[in-house]
Amino acid sequence: MEKSNKFAWTWMIKEELLEDYVKLHEEPWREVLDEHSKAGIKNYSIFQNGAQFFYCFECDDVDGAFAYIAQSEACNKWNALTSNMVQGSFDFNEAEPIKPLKEVFYLK
């Protein structure tokens, strides 16, 4: 099967911080959006199912994008706020900051 250039994962958000997490993403910081674009991330979507969030974006070089974001001052400030809200790893300097979902189907 041909693979896409999509990358996806899920996170659970702590119930007591759910409202704050959603509000932050309803009004994201312009500089964080710009940094993601510069990193090569595009068509980024986040979907909510209760406290579970599904993240999906397209990128030709995910490792390069994550390395760029890890060095971004704006993204590190954003991540400092949101990292306490998720259940799981959020450190882009780690070898595997998130657990990517396996793509099992792709319709071009």
Cα–Cα distance between 51 and 11 in angstroms, integer? 8
Cα–Cα distance between 40 and 35 in angstroms, integer? 9
**Would you say 47 and 22 are in contact if contact means Cβ atoms under 8 Å apart?**
no
Per-residue model confidence as pLDDT tens digits over 17-71: 999 999 999 999 999 999 999 999 999 999 999 999 999 999 999 989 989 998 9
Q: What is the pLDDT of residue 28?
A: 96
The pTM (predicted TM-score) of the whole model is: 0.86
In the chain the domains, ranked by start, together with CATH numbers, are: 6-87 (3.30.70.100)
Highest mean pLDDT among 7-11, 35-39, 85-89: 35-39
